[in-house]
Amino acid sequence: SSTPLKVAVTGAAGQIGYSLLFRLASGALGDRPVELRLLEITPALKALEGVVMELDDCAFPTLAGVEIGDDAEKVFDGVNLALLVGARPRGPGMERGDLLEANGAIFTAQGKALNKVAADDVRIGVTGNPANTNALIALSNAPDIPTDRFSALTRLDHNRAISQLAAKTGAPVTDITRMTIWGNHSATQYPDLFHAEVGGRNAAEVVGDQRWLEDDFIPTVAKRGAAIIEARGSSSAASAASATIDAARDWLFGSAKDDWVSMAVLSDGSYGVPEGIVSSFPVTTKDGDWEIVQGLEIDDFSRGRIDASTAELSEERATVTELGLI
C-alpha cells in the first residue's frame, strides 16, 4: 500500500537517532513511504530541528513527512511502529534501582500514550536501556495493546555473536544461522553456540573449543558495548541503529526460512524462563507476529547461563514492582 507507514522514534536527537532516522527515511524498511514521528524532551527539540533540516536535504523519495514534538500523545498518534530509543543514561553515582526508576517514569508515560493513540496494528520495539525491563514497564502500562506487540532489542547482541563466530571460523556471516541470545540485554546475556550453525553444521562442534566459547566468545559478545566505548570514545550508536532496523524489518516482513532471530519478548514460560519477564529467545517472525522456537535441547551449561540471566531479569521485575511501575 502507498499510505505511509507511520514510524515513531523516541530520543530522535540522540546518537542512535542520528543514524537510525536516515536509514528509516531512505527505505531500509522497504519501498513503502515512511512518515517519521520524532519524540524528544523539550531541551533537545532545537537539535532535533537541525536533524530534520538534514533529512529534508537528503530529498529521500521514500520520506513522506516528518513531525517532531515533546508530547508523546501527539507524536504517537496513529503510529504503526514505535521505536523507543530515548532513555535516561546512568549518571555518576546512580545505582541500578535509580536507573530503573528514572526510566520507569519515561516508559510508563510512553506506554500510556501508545495505549491511547497508537494505530491498532502498532508494533513497539524498545532499544533504550535497560531495554528488557523498559519494555516490561511499557507493556504493563498499555493494557489495550496485546503484549506480543512489545519487544526489546537483543538483535545487536545477536549480530555481534554472528560476527564473532564468522571471524573465528572464517565463514561468511551469511553462512551463520540459528544464533540465539538468551536472557537480558546486559553482561549476563547468553549467546548460544550449541544451536547455531555454520554452513548447516553445529557451531559448537565446528569450533570444537569450549575454552574459547566460555572465555572468549561469550565475554567478547557480552562486553562489546564497553569495548566500543573504550575504543571510539562514544557508544555503539550506528550498529545499535542497524540492529534496530534489522529487528523491525524482520518483525514486520518475516525472518529467513530455516533460520531464526533473537528478540526479547514477554515470557510464556518456554524453556523454564519465568513468566512475566521480557527475556530474549530464539523466535521466528512472520507478518508482524513472532513465535518462540520450541523443542531445543538445553544442556547443563546452557541451563546455568540462561538461569543466571533470567534471574537478573526477575530481580529487575521485583524492583519495578516495588516502585509501583508495573
Cα–Cα distance between 148 and 275 in angstroms, integer?
13
Subset of 40-59 contacting ligand NAI (CB under 6 A): 40-41, 44
Does residue number 188 form part of the binding site for ligand NAI (CB under 6 A)?
A: no
Write out the E strands in 18-96: 34-39, 63-69, 81-84
| Nearest of 78, 34, 95, 39 to residue 60 by alpha carbon | 34
Rounded to the nearest whole angstrom, what is the least distance from the CB of residue 238 to ligand NAI in the complex? 10
Q: Which three cell numbers stand for residue 119?
A: 494505530
Q: Name which of 238 and 296 has its Cβ closer to ligand NAI.
A: 238
Does residue number 16 form part of the binding site for ligand NAI (CB under 6 A)?
A: yes
Q: Which residue, judged by CB position, is nearest to ligand NAI in the bound state?
A: 14
Rounded to the nearest whole angstrom, what is the least distance from the CB of residue 155 to ligand NAI in the complex? 7
Query: Which part of the chain contacts ligand NAI (CB under 6 A), choosing from 5-13, 55-63, 164-172, 289-297?
Result: 5-13
Does residue number 185 form part of the binding site for ligand NAI (CB under 6 A)?
A: yes
**Residue 128 assigned ligand-binding role:** yes
**Residue 201 assigned ligand-binding role:** no
Size of the site for ligand NAI (CB under 6 A): 28
- 195 annotated active-site: no
Q: Which three cell numbers stand for residue 234?
A: 562514544
Q: Name which of 103 and 198 has its Cβ closer to ligand NAI.
A: 103
Cα–Cα distance between 144 and 8 in angstroms, integer?
19
Subset of 85-104 contacting ligand NAI (CB under 6 A): 85-89
Q: Which three cell numbers stand for residue 89?
A: 543514561
Does residue number 313 form part of the binding site for ligand NAI (CB under 6 A)?
A: no
Q: Other CB atoms closer than 10 Å to residue 160's CB: what's the count?
A: 22
Q: Other CB atoms closer than 10 Å to residue 264's CB: what's the count?
A: 33
What CA–CA distances, in Å, run from 134 to 34, 138, 225, 252?
Answer: 26, 6, 19, 21
SS3 317: helix
**Of 106, 181, 277, 292, which one interacts with ligand NAI (CB under 6 A)?**
106
Cα–Cα distance between 275 and 42 in angstroms, integer?
37
Q: Give catalytic residues, as residue numbers.
A: 185
Residues that bind ligand NAI (CB under 6 A): 10-11, 13-17, 39-41, 44, 85-89, 106, 127-129, 131, 153, 156, 185, 235-237, 240
